[in-house]
């Protein structure tokens, strides 16, 4: 669809009625590759990436009808209110909020439920185009939030025109938005379009059966057998730590708003890799496990997993 130095936007082939795209930018590549990009720097870069996509006009929007929906708290990271203002010079577009936090039914369960869903400030103009951003792994929070938005739109007798959704996420995002698109076409006459924009790739969500030494099921978004932008794949060769990261985003909420938990999570992963290295695992072996399609010969021949793990741990410790 579009390729330039600042952004590439690809449309994924699909028989679905929704448009699935992958956007690649220097900002989102740095977020996915470097866990040291956190706090305000993380949210600023993500906002800039969203602005770049909006400047390509992947969907028709106008100021009076556009509603930014912040799914708390992860949706705040995308900075879509500012991104729209910067992309189009707007000032009066609407912003609303809905809380939807997921939790496991038990410590070892793969079943999730919604908690912390008491807060909502949802209001729409008579005709509304929704612009939303959130991380999507299992899709539990997304499905709940979107169904609540449709319910509110019906109660307020609003006509929904379109949905534009940004994500670091996996295939569940597409599945859920396809279902929501079908409902919108049935419920709102004249509904036009749903566009899903994946940043850097449609990543694989870790499952119990995923053959990795370390993974958080239902949480980690993996490079392993994912569909990724060519720019993102090429960027993995810039640093041998990049393709080994446990998740392309880790916990997006704590990464922005509570760095202590986020940093400890990343350090914990690299300490596991350090233990693997001390028991004989090599960089090549871990690379083959986590990103088997990469060419190991393109990395420095002397890349040492133990030294790499120590470097990453020390880098994250400095953030504390």
DSSP string, 83-130: HHHHHH-----EEEEEE-EEEESSTT---EEEES---EE----SEEEE
Give the pLDDT of residue 309.
98
Between strands 66-72 and 112-115, the pairing is unpaired
Instruction: Report d(CA 56, CA 135) in Å as an integer.
Output: 22
Give the pLDDT of residue 87.
98
> What's the chain's Rg over C-alpha atoms?
20
From the list 12, 17, 59, the residue with the least C-alpha distance to 178 is 17
Its pTM surpasses 0.75: yes
From the list 162, 175, 188, 182, the residue with the least C-alpha distance to 58 is 162
From the list 128, 178, 173, 176, the residue with the least C-alpha distance to 152 is 128
Instruction: Name the segment(s) of the chain with CATH classification 3.40.50.
Output: 2-202
Domain 2-202 -> CATH class? alpha beta
| DSSP symbol at 136 | B
**What is the residue whose two structure tokens read 């295939």?**
171
pLDDT < 50 positions in the chain: 102, 108-109, 112-114
**What is the residue whose two structure tokens read 């004249």?**
190
Give the pLDDT of residue 250.
96
């Amino acid at each position: 669809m579009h390729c330039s130095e600042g952004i590439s936007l690809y449309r994924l082939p699909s028989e679905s009625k929704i448009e699935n795209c992958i956007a690649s930018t220097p900002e989102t590549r740095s977020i996915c590759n470097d866990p040291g990009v956190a706090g305000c720097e993380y949210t600023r870069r993500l906002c800039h990436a969203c602005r770049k996509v909006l400047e390509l006009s992947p969907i028709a929007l106008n100021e009076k009808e556009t509603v930014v929906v912040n799914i708390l708290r992860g949706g705040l990271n995308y900075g879509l209110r500012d991104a729209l203002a910067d992309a189009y010079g707007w000032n009066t577009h609407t912003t609303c909020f809905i809380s939807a936090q997921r939790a496991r039914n038990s410590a070892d369960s793969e079943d999730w439920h919604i908690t912390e869903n008491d807060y909502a400030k949802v209001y729409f103009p008579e005709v509304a185009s929704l612009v939303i951003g959130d991380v999507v792994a299992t899709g539990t929070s997304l499905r709940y939030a979107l169904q609540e938005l449709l319910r509110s739109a019906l109660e307020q007798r609003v006509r929904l025109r379109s949905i534009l959704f940004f994500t670091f996420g996996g295939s569940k995002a597409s599945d859920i938005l396809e279902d929501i698109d079908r409902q919108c076409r049935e419920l709102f006459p004249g509904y036009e379009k749903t566009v899903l924009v994946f940043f850097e790739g449609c990543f694989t969500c870790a499952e119990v059966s995923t053959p990795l030494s370390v993974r958080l099921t239902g949480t980690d978004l993996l490079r392993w057998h994912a569909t990724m932008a060519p720019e993102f794949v090429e960027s993995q060769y810039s640093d041998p730590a990049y393709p080994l990261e446990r998740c392309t985003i880790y916990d997006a909420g704590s990464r922005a708003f509570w760095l202590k938990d986020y940093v400890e999570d990343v350090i914990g992963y690299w300490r596991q890799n350090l233990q693997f290295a001390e028991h004989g695992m090599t960089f090549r072996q871990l690379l083959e496990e986590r990103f088997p399609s990469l060419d190991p010969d393109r990395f420095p021949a002397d890349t040492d997993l133990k030294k790499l793990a120590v470097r990453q741990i020390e880098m994250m410790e400095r953030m504390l």
